[in-house]
Amino acid sequence: MLFAALLQVTGSESMLNPAGTAAHRISTLGWIVFITFMAVSLIMWILTAWVAVRRKGSLKEHAPYNATGGEQWILAGGIIVPLVVLTCMFVLSETTMAHFPMKQKTDPPPEIVLTGHQWWWQIQYVSGPVDQHFTTANEMHIPVGQNVDIQLRTADVIHTFWVPRLHGKMDLIPGQPNMIRIRADRPGTYRGQCSEFCGDQHANMAMLVIADPPGQYAQWVADQRADAAQPTTPDTQAGEQVFLSGPCAFCHTVRGTDAAGVVAPDLTHIASRESLAADTLVNNKANLEAWITHAQSLKPGCEMPNLTEFTGLQLRQMTDYLQTLQ
Ligand SMILES: [Cu+2]
């Protein structure tokens, strides 16, 4: 009952609601520690209450009837019991942690290299069952029921990768690639949040991990590997020209066009994403227009400037074009 109620309250982004192997181990450990803590507290409160009830009068009126005794209580309660409890907790956490490969792994190589940027995530698929070389951003798809090794890097400051329903936290440290192995047991969308303060927009640096059934995953990989769709209508063709002749191409890549900037999210399949700007906005036409013209109001300080030089028509054509990039 309590368990189910807690899950309701904590929603989808909770470590108490695990959906992956590592997260299961962590939440089991969490519950054991929590229940032990509650049991110890309960015993302490009962003992304290017992003493309070038994005490009569003040110390002046009644000297303790055995002022020197009680050493066994100190020995048991102060040394033996804590030693046993803490040793059990220590062994349990060590065995839990021993299940997580920590070292940087080179053989076999990681499937994904995840690079943190202020304030978005670059996701490079570097190897896997199918030869899958492509780059995307902010939304990572993984095949359900399979281990996925991710190498964690950062382009600037320290960030932390944390998708509570799949695993614990792992830092992205400058010059020190880390490794994390995630695995989702059930298909679904699992939200993650950078959990090391990394500057003004740290709170708007989220990501989605989407676990797909195998067939769907293979389809997603095939779609992502392909170059951007060619625009087919006059409006979207004009929109592509606006995009390519504007400043966008200095920062963003759209594979299959001349846009090959590397300092910002790859937009080759931007229309296939659920959200914009690291899960800050829902991905729809209105938000695309708002983002292009007012990125600095929506995510102040981010590396994308407000781009207000476009006419209303150009802006509409450009967002029409971006929405064809499935
Ligand atoms: Cu951060």
CATH code for the domain in which residue 298 is found = 2.60.40.420
- Given 98, 123, 145, which residue is the final one in a domain? 98
Judged against a pLDDT cut of 70, whether residue 10 lies above it is answered with no
pLDDT band of residue 1 (cuts 50, 70, 90) is very low
Judged against a pLDDT cut of 60, whether residue 7 lies above it is answered with no
135 in a domain, yes or no?
Answer: no
pLDDT tens figures, 54-91? 877 777 777 766 667 778 888 998 899 999 999 999 99
CA dihedral for 310, 311, 316, 317, sign (positive or negative): negative
Cα distance between residue 115 and residue 237, in whole Å:
32
Number of domains in the chain: 2
Report percent pLDDT > 90 for the chain.
77
Helix (H, G, I), strand (E, B) or coil at 41: helix
Distance of CA 108 to the CA centre of its chain: 24
| Residue 131: per-residue pLDDT | 64
133 in a domain, yes or no?
Answer: no
| Residue 65: per-residue pLDDT | 66
Q: How far away, in angstroms, is 202 Cα from ligand 1 center?
A: 4
94 in a domain, yes or no?
Answer: yes
Give the chain's mean pLDDT.
90
pLDDT tens figures, 210-262? 999 999 999 999 999 999 999 999 999 999 999 999 899 999 999 999 999 99
pLDDT band of residue 6 (cuts 50, 70, 90) is low
Helix (H, G, I), strand (E, B) or coil at 90: helix
111 in a domain, yes or no?
Answer: no
Q: How far away, in angstroms, is 160 Cα from ligand 1 center?
A: 6
Contact between 89 and 31 (Cβ < 8 Å): no
| Residue 51: per-residue pLDDT | 84
151 in a domain, yes or no?
Answer: no
104 in a domain, yes or no?
Answer: no
pLDDT tens figures, 141-177? 999 999 999 999 999 999 999 999 999 999 999 999 9
pLDDT band of residue 105 (cuts 50, 70, 90) is low
pLDDT tens figures, 257-284? 999 999 999 999 999 999 999 999 999 9
| Residue 116: per-residue pLDDT | 97
Q: How far away, in angstroms, is 140 Cα from ligand 1 center?
A: 17
Q: How far away, in angstroms, is 161 Cα from ligand 1 center?
A: 9
- Given 68, 98, 128, which residue is the final one in a domain? 98
Q: How far away, in angstroms, is 187 Cα from ligand 1 center?
A: 26
Q: How far away, in angstroms, is 44 Cα from ligand 1 center?
A: 40
- Given 63, 82, 98, which residue is the final one in a domain? 98
Q: How far away, in angstroms, is 196 Cα from ligand 1 center?
A: 5
45 in a domain, yes or no?
Answer: yes
| Residue 104: per-residue pLDDT | 58
Judged against a pLDDT cut of 50, whether residue 9 lies above it is answered with no
Among the ranges given (42-56, 94-108, 186-200, 301-315), the one the predictor scored with the smallest mean pLDDT: 94-108
Q: How far away, in angstroms, is 112 Cα from ligand 1 center?
A: 20
Q: How far away, in angstroms, is 257 Cα from ligand 1 center?
A: 32
For residue 39, give its domain range: 2-98
Strand partners for 115: 122, 153
312 in a domain, yes or no?
Answer: yes
| Residue 154: per-residue pLDDT | 97
Q: How far away, in angstroms, is 265 Cα from ligand 1 center?
A: 17
Report percent pLDDT > 70 for the chain.
92
| Residue 120: per-residue pLDDT | 97
pTM for the structure as a whole: 0.89
Contact between 140 and 210 (Cβ < 8 Å): yes
| Residue 249: per-residue pLDDT | 94
| Residue 14: per-residue pLDDT | 85
Distance of CA 271 to the CA centre of its chain: 22
